[in-house]
Structure formats: C-alpha cells, structure tokens
Amino acid sequence: MEHSKKQVTILVPNYKTLEITKICMRLLRKYTNFDQVEVIAIDNNSQDASVEYLRSLSWIKLIERAPEADDTVPLSHSRALDLALAQVHTPYVLSIHTDTFVKRADWLDVLLNPFIGNAKLAGVGSWKLESKNCLQRWGIRFEQAWKKCLHDVFGYQGYNANRLDESKYYLRSHCAMYRTDVIRELNTDFSDGNVTAGKVMHEKMVAAGYEMLFLDSASLGMYVDHLNHATLIFNPQLGTSKKNMQEGAKRIRNKMRGIDGAAILADASLDL
C-alpha cells in the first residue's frame, strides 16, 4: 500500500465476538472507500473463530496481540489500539469497536470534513453514541439530582458527579478520529495514564490548545451505530451483572434487527 494515497487508518480491536465482528467488518467493506483508508484489526488473544475470520480478510492488516501480565479489560483494549497506532502513517487515525456499525457511504466524510480549514482541531467523535429523547434526558437528570441529595445528606456512594459534567467528557474509542501528527507531537497514545482509552490523550490535546469536537449523538447516529458493551455482554467472564447482560442482549437483538444483521451475516461476498 502507498501510504501517501491514504487519508485514514481505522483501528478495530477484537475479542471473541464473531458475529458482531463479521457485521462490523462487512459494513466497513460495503460503505467505505478503500482508496481512502487502511484498516488494522487487533485481536486480543481471542483464540476462537473471530480471529480465524479476521485472518481470512485480505483487505485488512491483522495484528495478533499477546496478553500482558498486568492487563485489565480497559488496558488490553487501549494497548491493542496502541500496537496499531505505532504502525499508522496516514494523516488521520480512527478508533472504532467491533460493535460500531457504519450505515452509509458518506459516513467517513462526517468525521473528516470538520478538519478542513481548521488546523487547531485535533479530534472529532462523540462521548456517548446514543440518542435519548427529552423524557429520557430529564429522567437521567432527575436521577442524578436525587442521588446527589442522598450523597450530601446520607453519604450515598452511588452518585457520580462527573456524569452530567461535560467538562469531564472525552472522545470515546467507539468512534474517535484524531490528527496523527498531533498524537505524535504530544507523545501520547490511547493507554496514556493507564485509564480508559483516549482519556489522557484527549486531556493533553486540550491542554496544548487544540480543539476537540463532539458530534451530536442523534446526528452522528444517522451514519454510525454503536451497540455499546457488546464484548462484555457476549463474554460474561470479563465481569458484568446478570441484569446488564439480559438488558444488553435485548438491546443488541433490537439493533441487529434494525440493520438487518441476519442479511449481512448471510452475505459472505462482503468479505472479499
């Protein structure tokens, strides 16, 4: 590949989600201009059919990552992204998850266009790629206000002051585009700080005077969907509650019907 002709390298960590991974990669293949992008998938020691599937794709580069002794679930994800980041030569790098599904042929333009003419813009993406109606947003605020009251009066520990504080937001790795040269300039990466992927990287970019653009979830959701925590739901050994698994599985089934996941899984021609 001639790196000079490519604009974006897409990084896709994988862990034991065969059907979700197939849909993710097939939708990328269907809706992406490969004269414009490279795709690097990073398998996190799945040792299952999902890595066998990735090995079969001639149009991606696959890195197979060996686990480290101090890996946690977040760190293994961040470190997988960093292995691929070290091999990026394009002006832009985009991180997604295997449960991130692109839906339209112009999806990449939505992330790239804001960079045009704005040298101070270092990153584009979202905080939560989910759309909530007014009643749902009001419910979340009411819940947090009630928990704050319980916290202040009784010392309740379930209150999260950061949830509604937008100053604490950072581009999440389910869909985050960055200028590669800014990452190199600041000597940062996804696992910087050993916290959630990209959090410290985002903070360093802001501290250096760069702008970070959060796209509205409803608008971005017209082009890109995110199942949210699919890897945890399909791999309970990673640690999630039975209730979250049941609710998550129902949500995933609904979204899979919305994108006609069965048809995509049946269309092996998209692997070519």
Query: Is residue 29 domain-shared with residue 78, that is, in the same domain?
Result: yes
Distances in whole angstroms, Cα of residue 50 to Cα of each of 14, 17, 181, 194: 8, 6, 32, 27
**What was the pLDDT predicted at 242?**
59
pLDDT attached to residue 134: 46
What's the pLDDT score for residue 2?
46
- Residues 164 and 174 both lie in one domain: no
Q: Which residues of the chain have pLDDT under 50?
A: 1-3, 131-138, 140, 232-236, 238-239
Distance CA 182, CA 95 (A): 15
Q: Give whole-number Cα distances, 35 to 1, 5, 74, 161, in Å.
A: 10, 7, 32, 44
Could you tell me if residue 239 is inside a domain? Answer: no
Please report the pLDDT score of residue 156 as a whole number.
63
- What's the first-to-final CA gap in the chain, in angstroms? 17
267 and 147 within one domain: no
Residue 42 three-state SS: strand
Same domain, 80 and 163: no
- Residue 263: is it exposed, middle or buried by C-beta count within 10 angstroms (0-12/13-18/19+)? exposed
Q: How far apart are CA 187 and CA 27, in angstroms?
A: 33
Domain-embedded: residue 250: no
Q: What is the pLDDT of residue 128?
A: 83
User: Is the same domain home to 162 and 181?
Assistant: no
**Per-residue pLDDT at 239:** 47
Are 98 and 157 in a shared domain? no
Average pLDDT, the chain: 85
- Res 261: pLDDT: 84
Phi, psi for residue 183 in degrees, rounded to 5: -60, -45
Measured from the Cβ of residue 119, the count of other Cβ atoms closer than 10 Å reads 10
Q: What is the reported pTM? A: 0.84
Range of the domain at 8: 3-127+170-227+260-271
**Total domain count for the chain?**
2
